Amino acid sequence: MVRMQGVGHGKSASSLPYCRTPPSWLKIASRDVIDAVCKLAKKGLPPSRIGMQLRDSMGIAQVKNVTGRKILRILKHKGMAPEIPEDLYCLIKRATEMRKHLERNTKDRDTSSVLFWSSPVFTVLPVTTSA
């Protein structure tokens, strides 16, 4: 990730394996993986958590290698996709929690400056408050 106001270019990320086929030891059919994705989505997990859950419990490193589609594509096909993107949802949630914190703690200058720097979130999608 890259800082918005930073000088450097952030390049920290894990690289995907070159092999696009599922491992030979993985004996799970793509239909079972799709059912597991839908089951976890019904529980209310976002796509990133679904991927982590499948990785930890079933040993599926990349859902796309097994099914041919990404998790979000599977959810869109089933009509279970979230209304707004997950990363934008997390930014909005963080900003609204900061606003609630500032309403309770008016002397907290650090949080107010962080909220000021997160203001591009509100230009993208305004959040209504009860003020």
Contacts of 55 (CB under 8 A, 6+ apart): 61
If you average pLDDT over residues 8-35, what whole number do you get? 83
pLDDT digits (tens, 9 = 90+) for 53-111: 999 999 998 999 999 999 999 999 999 998 888 888 888 888 888 888 888 888 887 77
For residue 130, pLDDT over 70 is answered with no
What phi-psi label fits residue 15: left (phi over 0), alpha (psi between -120 and 50 degrees) or beta? beta
Instruction: Give 33's pLDDT tier (boundaries 50, 70, 90).
Output: very high
Q: What confidence score (pLDDT) does residue 131 get?
A: 45
Which amino acid belongs to residue 44? Answer: G
How far does the chain reach from its first CA to its final CA, in angstroms?
33
Residue with tokens 């089951």: 39
Beta strands in 47-90 (DSSP E): none
Q: Give dist(CA 123, CA 72) in Å, integer.
A: 25
| Confidence (pTM) | 0.69
